[in-house]
Amino acid sequence: MNFYVAPLEGITGYIFRNIFNECFGTGVNKYYTPFLALCSKKGVTDKEKNEISPENNKNYKLVPQVMTVCVEDFVKAKEKLRSLGYDEININFGCPARTVTSRGRGSGALRDLEKLDSFLDGIYKDGDENISIKTRIGVESPDEFGKVMDIYNKYPIKELTIHPRTMREVYKGIPHRDVFIEALSTAKMPVCYNGDINSVEEYIELCNLIKEHSTNNISGVMIGRGILKDPALIRKIAGGENTSFNAEDIKKYGASNEEVRIMLCKLQNEYTNKFSGQMPVLYKLKEIWAYLGQGLYVEHRKLFKKIMKCKSLEEYETYMNEILSQ
Ligand SMILES: Cc1cc2nc3c(=O)[nH]c(=O)nc-3n(C[C@H](O)[C@H](O)[C@H](O)COP(=O)(O)O)c2cc1C
């Protein structure tokens, strides 16, 4: 199986990707950038330049993700990315944020299927087979996805990553895995699953469900929040696959506190070099802890709360060391 680290805007930027890959990259086949415009009125922003600069993304395979529904803008972005050496380019039809969807982008693109079709017609017209898509299953209802799939199936999509929730559901409720399985059975392109895989058990459950209900297999699994809750999740799943998920073996692939400490310290150093003042650094670290506190360190509620409330890096380091030395 292929394992991909999902794009998480504000979290999985190039600093995070480099450090995560160094510390927990075993088993990861690809990383995706958080969505980029690459064609705003201002041109390519400095933040975007840093995100896609080959210098900043040396030791792993990176797929830049673009969010647009304008063919010309996409072509401009594609030319820029290809000139930097990127083959695969991913399009975002998944983002549920209102600022994006109100302008028909992200999962808002699924609202007007005629427009979606004409956009895809424009970008695949030259036979480009290196464009992949990340999508939700509809705007209001999961029933919309059949029609969306009919459109996707017309184009040579390199890989279709499906997050089986609607735009309205944002991240609430349980992903519609039945809709995913149905789409997998009718898909003419490789299909990757994404959504709520937070443990080895959930991955096994997904594989069993697919085996039971579809003759097609998935091309990959994309994991986002799960690798923040447990940074070694992909290493455990990928390692587990080689040992038939023997519990003892999986334990060996788990994250030690020391590994987590190293990752967090490297992030702290890099963010300290990048930002001025402690507060933005603290904010970034708390963002990671917000997930670790629901995952690996869920048992340490009191210390976790203290981390989330602390006002200086000194205070943060005290509580972090306390959690990680237990
Ligand atoms: C904070 C945050 C930022 C996200 N940013 C992006 C993004 O830039 N592009 C994208 O396609 N999806 C984005 N997503 C969606 C994730 O890539 C993923 O589809 C979603 O979290 C479900 O997968 P998971 O349950 O494995 O996290 C974001 C999600 C979160 C929570």
CATH of the domain at 18: 3.20.20.70
Let me know whether 219 and 152 are in one domain: yes
Model-level pTM greater than 0.85?
yes
Please tell me what DSSP assigns to residue 4.
Answer: E
Answer yes or no: do 236 and 137 share one domain: yes
How high is the pLDDT of residue 244?
Answer: 86
Residue 229: the pLDDT is 98
Low-confidence ranges of the chain (pLDDT < 70): none
Q: Which residue, of 253, 285, 301, is where some domain finishes?
A: 253
Most ligand 1 atoms within 8 A of CB, residue of 3, 5, 9, 223 to mutate:
9
Residue finishing a domain among 194, 224, 253: 253
Position 212 scores a pLDDT of: 97
Residue 66 has a pLDDT of 97
Q: Assess whether 158 and 68 both reside in one domain.
A: yes
pLDDT of 43 reads 78
pLDDT of res. 38: 84
d(CA 82, CA 322): 47
- Contacts of residue 174, defined as CB under 8 A and 6 or more positions apart, other chains included, come to 196
Element holding 322 (H helix, E strand): helix 313-324
Answer yes or no: do 180 and 78 share one domain: yes
Structure tokens at 151: 């459109």
224 and 317 housed in the same domain: no
Question: Which residues fall within 8 angstroms of residue 35, CB to CB, at 6 or more apart?
Answer: 7, 9, 65, 66, 67, 92, 95, 106
Shared domain for 243 and 278, answered yes or no, is no
| Number of domains observed in the structure of the chain | 2
The residue among 207, 236, 253 that closes a domain is 253
pLDDT number for residue 326: 80
- CB-based contacts of 254, cutoff 8 Å, min separation 6: 230, 232, 236
What is the distance in A from the centroid of ligand 1 to the CA of 8?
A: 5
Task: State the Cα–Cα distance between residues 116 and 127, nearest whole angstrom.
Answer: 17
- What's the CA gap between 265 and 259, in Å, rounded? 10
273 and 293 together in one domain: yes
Q: How far is the CA of 314 from the centre of ligand 1 (A)?
A: 31
pLDDT at 136: 98
DSSP 37: -
Distance from the CA of 34 to the center of ligand 1, in angstroms? 8
pLDDT computed for residue 42 by the predictor: 73
The residue whose CA has the least distance to atom 29 of ligand 1 is 8
* Beta carbons of 195 and 226 less than 8 angstroms apart: no
SS3 3: strand
Host domain of residue 87: 2-253
